[in-house]
């Protein structure tokens, strides 16, 4: 027998958690599915220590603290969570939508809201790092404490690489950032902040070998034709990740460049199926957490009408409650 709910949210990252709260505010029963075992999506999995600077009302908020607040807020909706499970199939009719999970369970909902972010993700490998994962090589930095007093080499030129360099520099013995190009993808402000620290930046360089007796002890680089050996007890490969929307792409939803196409009401090409957050695509789309929050409210309000045609899209302000 299928689990019954009004709104099924697929994805428990920031956008999905805020959508869960807002569904409760609208008086909807809500269930949430996520392929990860914990709430918080990418933030929990990859960036819990990262300072997030683009959430309204917070000059700066640590990732784990933002997730903690969102989870507490979502709890007011009394959601039913299906964690560590993947939505693999979706069918719909005039009365609702049925989603089948990878463990065989089914959830029957009046509407579905997809907040899957980039979908399932896996880190891009460091070619020279094969066999070293967990022995000094890591792809993410969920906690800074293990890096205290170590020589750390960070490989990459994006936001994650520079964020981690900035936060590890005060506690590590040394931090070296290695990038294969002269230009960086990271935010210019963060690059300047790192340049103002003792972090060593080596560009036009690639890691050719990790060395050590059981655990990493040194890193070999090729930089401008020269060989450089760096002491390193920790290597962070911040090379981005490979994203995959997975089974969602087989549901008949219009997808463009691994993103779900939506209209101004956050409706997808399927009836009763909405989307919000980084997974969406439309003209002028900006992928920020702050944007995802607004899209979540828009999607839930429009889904409420799909669930109950007598409902109004705009329910009033949350500050107007009794």
For residues 318 and 206, the model is more confident at 206
Give me the pLDDT at residue 322, please: 45
Nearest to 210 by CA among 124, 127, 125, 128: 128
Mean pLDDT within 279-306: 96
**pTM of the predicted model as reported, rounded to 2 decimal places:** 0.78
Fold exhibited by the domain 125-237:
FAD/NAD(P)-binding domain (3.50.50)
The whole-chain average pLDDT of the chain stands at 92
Give me the pLDDT at residue 106, please: 96
Give me the pLDDT at residue 318, please: 64
Highest mean pLDDT of the ranges 48-57, 120-129, 216-225: 216-225
DSSP bridge pairs for 20: none
Determine what percent of the chain is predicted with pLDDT higher than 90: 75
CA distance 264 to 283: 10
Give me the pLDDT at residue 123, please: 83
Condensed to tens digits (0 to 9), the pLDDT of residues 240-272 reads 877 777 888 889 999 988 899 999 999 999 999
Query: Is the distance from CB of 129 to CB of 237 less than 8 angstroms?
Result: yes
Give me the pLDDT at residue 1, please: 67
Q: How many CB atoms lie within 10 A of CB 48?
A: 20
Mean pLDDT within 13-19: 97
Domain range 3-121+241-320, CATH architecture: 3-Layer(bba) Sandwich (3.50)
- If pLDDT is split at 50, 70 and 90, which confidence band does 209 have? very high
Mean pLDDT within 168-195: 94
Give me the pLDDT at residue 51, please: 84
Query: Is the distance from CB of 307 to CB of 111 less than 8 angstroms?
Result: yes
Burial class (CB in 10 A: 0-12, 13-18, 19+), 228: middle
Q: How far is CA 204 from the centre of its chain?
A: 29
Element (H, E) at 9: strand 3-10
Condensed to tens digits (0 to 9), the pLDDT of residues 102-157 reads 999 999 999 999 999 877 767 889 999 999 999 999 998 888 899 999 999 999 99
All CATH 3.50.50.60 domain ranges in the chain, comma separated: 3-121+241-320, 125-237
Q: E strands along 189-281, which residues? A: 200-202, 205-211, 218-223, 226-231, 234-237, 241-244, 255-256, 259-261, 273-275, 280-281
Number of residues in the chain: 322
Q: Which residues are annotated as a binding site?
A: 15, 34, 42, 47, 87, 121, 278, 319
Determine what percent of the chain is predicted with pLDDT higher than 70: 97
Condensed to tens digits (0 to 9), the pLDDT of residues 59-106 reads 999 889 999 999 999 999 999 999 999 999 999 888 899 999 999 999
Burial class (CB in 10 A: 0-12, 13-18, 19+), 45: middle
Hey, what are 85's tokens?
A: 């499970």
Nearest to 12 by CA among 44, 45, 34: 34
Q: Which residues are annotated as a binding site for FAD?
A: 15, 34, 42, 47, 87, 121, 278, 319
Query: Is the distance from CB of 129 to CB of 26 less than 8 angstroms?
Result: no
Element (H, E) at 254: none
């Amino acid at each position: 027998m299928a689990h019954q709910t009004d709104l099924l949210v697929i994805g428990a990252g920031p956008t999905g958690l805020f959508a869960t709260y807002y569904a409760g505010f609208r008086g909807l029963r809500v269930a949430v599915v996520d392929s990860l075992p914990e709430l918080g999506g990418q933030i929990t999995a990859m960036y819990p220590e990262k300072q997030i600077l683009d959430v309204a009302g917070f000059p700066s908020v640590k990732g784990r603290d933002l997730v903690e607040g969102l989870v507490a807020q979502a709890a007011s909706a009394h959601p039913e969570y299906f964690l560590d499970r993947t939505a693999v199939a979706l069918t719909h009719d005039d009365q609702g939508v049925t989603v089948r999970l990878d463990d065989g369970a089914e959830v029957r909902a009046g509407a579905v809201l997809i907040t899957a972010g980039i979908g399932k993700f896996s880190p891009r490998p460091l070619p020279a790092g094969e066999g070293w994962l967990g022995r000094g090589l890591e792809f993410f930095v969920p906690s800074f404490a293990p890096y205290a007093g170590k020589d750390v080499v960070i490989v990459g030129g994006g936001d994650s690489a520079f964020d981690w360099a900035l936060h590890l520099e005060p506690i590590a013995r040394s931090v070296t950032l290695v990038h294969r190009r002269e230009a960086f993808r990271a935010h210019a402000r963060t690059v300047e902040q790192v340049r103002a620290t003792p972090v060593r930046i080596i560009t036009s360089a690639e890691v050719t070998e990790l060395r050590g007796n059981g655990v990493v002890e040194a890193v070999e680089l090729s930089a401008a034709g020269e060989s450089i050996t760096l002491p390193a007890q920790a290597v962070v490969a911040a090379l981005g990740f490979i994203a995959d929307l997975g089974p969602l792409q087989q549901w008949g939803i219009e997808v463009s460049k691994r993103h779900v196409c939506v209209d101004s009401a956050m409706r997808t090409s399927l009836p009763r199926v909405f989307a919000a957050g980084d997974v969406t695509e439309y003209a002028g789309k900006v992928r920020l957490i702050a944007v995802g929050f607004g899209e979540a409210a828009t999607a839930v309000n429009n889904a409420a009408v799909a669930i109950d045609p007598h409902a109004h899209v705009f329910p009033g302000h949350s500050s107007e409650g009794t």
